[in-house]
Amino acid sequence: MDTTALSRTELLQVADAVAREKTIEREEVLDAMEQAIARAGRAKYGGEHDIRAEIDRRTGEVRLKRYLEVADEIENEATQIRLADARASDPEIEIGQFIVEDLPPIELGRIAAQAAKQVIVQKVREAERQRQHREYKDRVGEIVNGIVKRNEFGNVTVDLGRAEAMMRRDESLPRESFRTGDRLRGYIYDVREEQRGPQIFVSRSHPQFMAKLFAQEVPEIYDGIIEIKSVARDPGSRAKIAVISHDSSIDPVGACVGMRGSRVQAVVGELQGEKIDIIPWSPDAATFVVNALAPAEVTKVVLDEEQGRIEVVVPDEQLSLAIGRRGQNVRLASMLTGWDIDILTEEEESRRRQEEMRQRSQMFIEVLDVDDVIAHLLVAEGFTSLEQVAFVPLAELASIEGFDEEVAEELRARARTYLEERDRKNEARRRELGVSDELVALQGLTPAMVVTLGENGIKTLDDLGDLASDELIEMLGDAAPAAAEADAIIMAARAHWFADEETPAAETEAEAETDAAPADKAASPGASEAPAEVSNP
């Protein structure tokens, strides 16, 4: 490569050709050429010099120049010049500006030309990578078509035309294989800028791949009339998709199925025969879970919103259908709805309900000292704890068939007496264990919980703050709160850590004023000295 061997117009033509071939900006190619020529100039005149090349964008003329910075003190004579010497050629120049000297054109030898070529190739490749990243980083979530370029141990390299993508083995469908030259359709789920350039990752097992396929096949989804609310997949085997229509006149399930199943079959064909259940979405969690468990029939649903769990009761003969092969049906329904689903048969649910009623009745018999008739009546009316009996309105308790105000008042008195005695014992045990008053005052912890924590060595706010929520839940056992509430308790225990970090001047002044206060000023009693209260459920 010899800059004198190329005419000025030919230099610009080469830049245009490279820009078109690599689909990058012409300016980026010319910048790369300038850097290559400047590098060759430093090789000829000395690498310590600040030599820059300029290519005229209109005429193609190449100009080589040496830059000298005007400075007070000279640290590098090759790139700096004193102000007095600089003003000999330009009286108005100031410190920080540059003296620019023109250098004669250079003829590149074989080695210099090869080095310049490497610089151009490297810069063009970097520009191409930046273009690919800019183009594809905004295409995450799209379906792309490509041709298989290589298949190395199941990891497929896909030629997208203007870039290459990678589909890892675990992102393809089971029993699916590709050979070089095969056409492939995939979902872009990630684009990362890495050392070797932008990496585009595509998938055929991603849940959103199926959602995007439906959007291509069903115009109502593309237009926003029908919305895909959630998707759950067991890639290559079975999937569930929940849809809702924003137009009451359009059936979302029917629209996705299509005439004689044409639309859903097009998606199934692309997914290698994956069975797809199309479920009507519902804002009511119970209804949605029942729909998601189709084709199984459900007779009863019990929600536990705090734990995020839902119990589903099915007829005995429907149990295997509800669970599915290797638990597939219930697993997909759980993924689709976001609820943990427990499936019981009617017989199991009946046995468990009877056992719960027996345990609650026995608790009322022992604690309230009543016969089994009264205990059964309380359980039948929905009472599950002593707190409910102790603090329920008198009229409500007296309205139970067979009760009167005298019986109701006696039951409430016995329940409150038991709770007060229990709290007194818990308080005594808490003091015996040495649990701090600050821990007792923490919102969300009952006296029984405080005792359990103390028996496990958790006696201060710092001890509690060092726990993770799952450790707290495991420690409290059956009395443990929900995960979100456990997180809130631990964060409340850690609150003083952050307060200690902030010690503003005003706080210091307040402490000084406190020290100067009269010695006989009485301190207010701590909250922990007050008798324990039991909230009305």
| 360-378 tens-digit pLDDT | 888 888 888 888 888 888 8
pLDDT band at 508 (very low <50, low <70, confident <90, very high): very low
Q: Last residue of some domain: 177, 203, 229?
A: 203
Please tell me the predicted confidence (pLDDT) of residue 196. 67
Q: Considering the domain boundaries, does residue 233 fall inside one?
A: no
- The yes-or-no verdict on residue 531 having pLDDT over 50 is no
pLDDT value for 426: 85
Q: Which residue segment(s) compose the domain that 144 sits in?
A: 139-203
How would DSSP label each residue in 415-442?
A: HHHHHHHHHHHHHHHHHHHT--HHHHTS
In the chain, the number of structural domains is 4
State the Cα–Cα distance between residues 459 and 434, nearest whole angstrom: 7
Question: Which residue is listed with tokens 């229990």?
Answer: 422
Query: Strands (DSSP E) along 220-285, which ranges?
Result: 226-234, 238-245, 275-280
Residue tagged 């496990």 (tokens) = 456
pLDDT bucket at 231, cuts 50 / 70 / 90: very high
Considering 132, 160, 194, which residue would you say is the last residue of a domain?
A: 132
What are 213's two structure tokens? 């396929």
Q: In this predicted structure, what is the pLDDT of residue 213?
A: 92
| Shared-domain flag, residues 78 and 148 | no
Q: Is 146 a member of any domain? A: yes
Which residue from 137, 123, 138 is spatially nearest to 25, judged by alpha carbons? 123
Residue 304 in any domain: the answer is no
CB-based burial of residue 87 (10 Å sphere; 0-12 exposed, 13-18 middle, 19+ buried)?
A: middle
Question: At 318, phi and psi to the nearest 5?
Answer: -95, 0
Q: What's the pLDDT tens digit per position in 471-480?
A: 888 888 877 7
pLDDT at residue 2 above 80?
no
**90 domain residue, yes or no:** yes
Any domain includes 347 = no
433 within domain boundaries: yes
Alpha carbons 456 and 263: distance in angstroms, whole number: 60
Residues 441, 402 share a domain: no
Query: Sign of torsion, CA 30 36 41 42?
Result: positive
Q: Note whether 368 and 415 are within 8 A (CB).
A: yes
How confident is the model over 127-143, as a mean pLDDT? 78
CA distance 103 to 100: 10
Confidence band, pLDDT 50/70/90 cuts, at residue 522: very low
* Same domain, yes or no: 101 and 41: yes
Q: Are 214 and 228 in contact (CB under 8 A)?
A: yes
When pLDDT is averaged across residues 206-235 and rounded to a whole number, the result is: 92
Residues 493 and 402 placed together within one structural domain of the fold: no
Q: CB within 8 A of 459, min separation 6: which ones? A: 433, 434, 435, 436, 439, 453
Please say whether the beta carbons of 386 and 419 come within 8 A.
yes
What are the residues whose beta carbons fall under 8 Å from the beta carbon of 143, sequence distance 6 or more?
A: 185, 186, 187, 188, 209, 212, 213, 216
Is residue 268 within 8 Å of residue 274, measured between CB atoms? Answer: yes
Report, as an integer, the average pLDDT of 303-313: 83
What digits encode the pLDDT tens for the residues 266-289?
Answer: 999 989 889 999 999 999 988 999
Question: Chain-centre distance of CA 430, in angstroms?
Answer: 41
Query: What is the Cα–Cα distance from 54 to 167, expressed in whole angstroms?
Result: 43
Q: How far apart are CA 215 and CA 197, in angstroms?
A: 31
Rounded to an integer, the average pLDDT of 110-120 is 59
Matching residue, tokens 């002593």: 386
CA 291 to CA 297: how far, in whole Å?
A: 9
Residues 17 and 127 in one domain: yes
Quote the CA–CA distance of 42 and 40 in Å, as a whole number: 5
Round to whole Å and give the CA distance between 298 and 346.
Answer: 10
SS3 351: helix
Beta bridge partners of 314: 345
The SS3 call for residue 68 is strand
Q: Please report which confidence band the pLDDT of residue 299 belongs to, taking 50, 70 and 90 as the band edges.
A: confident
Do both 45 and 127 map to the same domain?
yes
Q: Which two tokens stand for residue 56?
A: 């005229």
Task: Give the predicted TM-score (pTM) of the model.
Answer: 0.58
